Chain A
Amino acid sequence: MFLRYRIIIIVLITLFAVYNICIYSTKESSTFIKLSSQAVSGQQLWQENNCWSCHQIYGLGGYLGPDLTNVISHPSKGSQYVKAFLNSGIKSMPKFNFSEEEKNAIVSYLKHIDSTGYYPNYNAVFKPTGWVELKYKYNDRNEK
């Protein structure tokens, strides 16, 4: 019995290893773009200042502020709008003291995020199996 359990564990771990390698190395899409160094420093600021504790990206993060996945491409928002918010200290949002360069870095990070997809994914297609087919942004880009 003991031996059988060991075999099951070994099989599972092997599958897990293969699965992980696939996940770590799959290409996200054909038009995939890397985070620029400016966007990476934006990400750094995002983490250092715990923006995630109030804001969400793809619905993951905090609940005190709005989701920011598509704030850049939102018709009535965009880069300038975001910059105006950063040091405003509105409502429960802390009053940050970002320099122009830091603001640009954050915008650059948010821009990158925006380019990766949609959230909320309003045009997703629901299947009778309970499956949801997401609308991907790179498909749009390919079509264009």
Chain B
Amino acid sequence: MIEMKNKTPLLFIIAALLALLLGVFFGLFASLQYIIPDFLKEYIPFHKMRPFHVTTVISWIILCVTGSIYFFITHIEKLSLYSKKLSKLHFVVFIITAIGIYVSFLSGKMEGREYLSYTPILTIPILFGWILFGVNYYKTIAKNVKNWSVYYWMWATGIVFMIYHLCEAHFWLIPGFRERFITDMAVQWKSYGSFVGSWNMLVYGTAIYLMSKIKRDSNLAHGKMVFFFYFLGLTNLMFGWAHHTYIIPMQPWIRYVAYGVSMTEWIVLGHIIYSWIKSLSIKDKQEYCMVYRFLKAADFWVFINIILALLFSIPAINFFTHGTHITVAHSMGTTIGINTTILMASVFFIVQKILPSFKTTTLFIKRSYYLFNIMLFLFFCTLLYAGVIKSNWMYFTKDIHFSEMQDSLFTTYIAFFVFGLGLAISITTLSLTLFKALFKVLKSN
């Protein structure tokens, strides 16, 4: 059992799990409105629920990966953190900002855009938190580690680009900038694409870290191949965002570059995990049973999403899928299927490290795990189906009103809600189990 002197990493993870639970239920309520538009409109209007949902689930990813990184460098790598105080301050800043965001939502002050719809002032403390993290991380690693493994690079890259793209997402606050509508819109979606790319750097870095630890093979994170893939991923983060915006009438060269670059990204992680699973011994698998399972699930979801992403990075296909639920299927497939599974693996790994008596192979956990994957698969397929119907409506029918198309999807939306509910239940049981273990550690120390 690891002595927990510095509990900040665990606090991050507990906050993350809380955000996950909350976020999933916000999503569930929001999706209800697809089925019964009038019923809940007054009390929990969709346009209020959606920002709650999106911001909260993004917080799950951010908080969990941050807590994991703090935990790995201090408790597994045993590096002495440059400043424990800064890490505590980082946590406090994020929590206070989170409260600020909810206050901003509840009071109806949502002047922001899409994924960052809270009042823009709150981006300042968020940036401050990231800078604290960046400084602490860099000072700790630069002092103690000579030959950086690929995950150290990935985490560093993730932090730096997160800061940059958070700023870029707010360029619209510059008056001259927002007056140029097309540029403004393109840059907004560029920043979101790369923002996701930045947290992917953090999450994929975590996946590679876990794999190299379970296998006790540091080559996994040092070889030329992994670095090749890291640079490929970075190139994508920088230049591959534009398949989100093929359809905006930007200058064609921007779209050309994106097309060229964006065909590569997904092979990256898929390849690494694939070769890892092939070479894993039975004993490793048993020791970290749930960690292994979740990483295997991530691998499955990488493959599914590779196929989808590669397809709709081709402009001729993107033309038909853009603006439909197929895009949603992709974002749910990646944030839940890939990010959440990797982060679940990370939390299971951490719990097993700090509480070896914790049993992860119970029937209950296994069932939750299977429920999670099956429900996600059905959820994903429902969205694909809805997307096909919408695309067909947009391009191959005439004079059918939008609301008729929506009405024809009624049963599909019910299925969407039911599978979402199943997903929510499995996430709840998994998170509560992990909660219990983490609280036990907090109390016993």
Contact = CB atoms under 8 A, between A and B. Distances in A.
Contacts of B259: 130-131
B178 A52 contact: no
Interface in B1-57: 33-34, 37-38, 41, 45-48, 50-51
A26 B251 contact: yes
A52 B113 contact: yes
Given A53-B46, A113-B181, A59 B322 contact: yes
Given A63-B328, A91-B403, A132-B315, A47 B181 contact: no
A64 B33 contact: yes
Contacts of A10: none
Given A12-B231, A59-B322, A28 B250 contact: yes
A43 B247 CA distance: 21
A53 B249 contact: no
Contact of A134 (B34, B249, B394): B249
A59 B323 contact: yes
A112 B179 CA distance: 10
Given A34-B179, A59-B322, A130 B314 contact: yes
Contacts of A62: 50
B186 A23 contact: yes
A13 B198 CA distance: 14
Given A56-B323, A63-B325, A121-B247, A92 B33 contact: yes
Contact of A43 (B47, B178, B317): B178
Interface in A1-27: 1-2, 5, 8-9, 12, 15-16, 19, 23-24, 26
Contact of A24 (B34, B45, B187): B187
Contacts of A94: 41, 45, 47
Contacts, number: 153
B41 A92 contact: yes
Contacts of B47: 49-51, 53-54, 94
Contacts of B181: 35, 112-113, 116
Contacts of A34: 179-180
B319 interface: yes
Contact of B402 (A1, A40, A65, A136): A65
A136 B323 contact: no
A100 interface: no
Given A63-B328, A130-B314, A44 B111 contact: yes
A124 B323 contact: no
A35 B177 CA distance: 10
B190 interface: yes
A132 B318 CA distance: 9
A107 B394 CA distance: 24
Interface residues of A, number: 63
Contacts of B177: 24
A134 B259 CA distance: 14
A57 interface: yes
A26 B183 contact: yes
Interface string B201-214: 00000000000000
B361 interface: no
Contacts of B114: 52, 61
A58 B245 CA distance: 8
B189 interface: yes
A106 to B, nearest CB: 15
A40 B247 contact: no
B249 A60 contact: no
B280 interface: no
B235 interface: yes
Nearest to A59: B323
17 contacts: A2-B147, A2-B148, A19-B239, A24-B177, A35-B181, A48-B111, A50-B110, A50-B117, A51-B47, A53-B50, A58-B185, A58-B247, A60-B323, A94-B41, A120-B394, A120-B395, A131-B316
Interface of A: 1-2, 5, 8-9, 12, 15-16, 19, 23-24, 26, 28-29, 32, 34-35, 40, 43-44, 47-54, 56-67, 91-92, 94, 112-113, 116-122, 124, 126-127, 130-134, 136-138
Q: Ordered nearest first, which 9 A-B pairs have the shortest CB separation?
A: A59-B323, A92-B37, A117-B249, A50-B47, A66-B402, A132-B315, A53-B47, A34-B179, A53-B50
Given A5-B153, A32-B180, A94-B45, 16 more contacts: A5-B227, A23-B254, A24-B171, A28-B183, A35-B180, A40-B175, A47-B110, A58-B247, A60-B244, A60-B248, A65-B402, A91-B37, A92-B41, A94-B47, A120-B395, A121-B247
